[in-house]
Amino acid sequence: MSRTTYYDEAKPFVVNEHSLVRGTGRQIDWTQVPIRFGGDAVLVKLSAAALADATSISVDALSAAVPAGTLLHFGQSKEFAKTTAAAAAGATSITVEALPSALEDNDEAYYWPGREAKRIPAGTVMAKLSSGKVIPRSAVTGSETSTGILESTAYEEVGLADVGHSQIVGGVIFENLLPDWDGGTSGNWTDTYKDELIAAGVGSFVFERYSDSTS
């Protein structure tokens, strides 16, 4: 006789709570957490390059509306655009003030329709900086490597910047339920983050794959 377990929400990434090994709670360096971790961020990604002084930009279909007067920053000095008219959800072009500099195809900017606090979801693989604080491993620009998994969702809130967040450094984990899971095809998870987490002196993880009969 088979057994079926039902969950009212997403299956947690921890296989067995009693298997967890927790490290010291660490502060997050929110200044180094990219804006893509904004809670309700709308991605504005160029689908074609745009020349300086252009008054419209071509983008991938927007997931939500972007209002007039929105300043979109594309990451580099002077690489920004200010919208002059609202763009509806699904729009593939945005009217903007004359661009101060050229933009490249696939450049990305973000707009938040609600609050702009950053959010790092539970299960995110984290890396420790020289300061002792942590950031998402996917945000690392230096040589820092994975040092743990964030146990619960962290929010950038006023007055909470100094809070220490629990890091999981060992246990039995469903790797394919972690936010960083990429399907195991690009190598970003299986060859890098996973190997760093199980390296000597880092953690004592056992990774399993979750599966069910959900269609």
* Spatial separation of the C-alpha atoms in residues 78 and 75, rounded to whole Å: 9
Domain count, the chain: 2
State residue 9's pLDDT score. 41
Domain membership flag for residue 1: no
Rg (CA), the chain: 20
Domain boundary among 84, 111, 138: 111
In a domain, 28, yes or no: yes
Q: Above 80 in pLDDT, residue 52?
A: yes
User: Average pLDDT over the chain, rounded to whole?
Assistant: 84
Q: Are residues 126 and 28 in the same domain?
A: yes
Express as a percent the part of the chain with pLDDT over 70: 84
CA-to-CA distance for 179 and 123, rounded, in angstroms?
A: 6
69 and 160 fall within a common domain: no
Range of the domain at 149: 17-37+118-208
Domain boundary among 111, 133, 159: 111
Question: Domain end: 83, 111, 139, which one?
Answer: 111
Same domain, residue pair 181 and 122: yes
pLDDT band at 125 (very low <50, low <70, confident <90, very high): very high
- The CATH number of the domain holding residue 190 is 2.40.300.10
Instruction: Return the pLDDT at 119.
Output: 83
Same domain for 95 and 155, yes or no, is no
Determine, yes or no, domain membership for 9: no
Q: Does pLDDT of 214 surpass 70?
A: no
Which residues pair with residue 26 across a beta bridge?
Answer: 165
* Pair (95, 33) in one structural domain: no
* CA angle centred on 208, ends 154 and 215, rounded to 5°: 85
Q: Is residue 195 domain-shared with residue 130, that is, in the same domain? A: yes
pTM of the model: 0.63
Q: How far is CA 147 from CA 133, 150, 153, in A?
A: 11, 10, 17
Amino acid 41: pLDDT: 75
Q: Which of 32-41, 91-100, 156-165, 193-202 has the highest mean pLDDT?
A: 91-100
Question: Would you state the pLDDT for residue 128?
Answer: 95
Q: Does 191 have pLDDT greater than 90?
A: no
CB within 8 A of 74, min separation 6: which ones?
46, 80, 81, 103, 107, 108, 109
Same domain, 127 and 170: yes
Q: Which residues fall within 8 angstroms of residue 176, CB to CB, at 6 or more apart?
A: 184, 209, 210
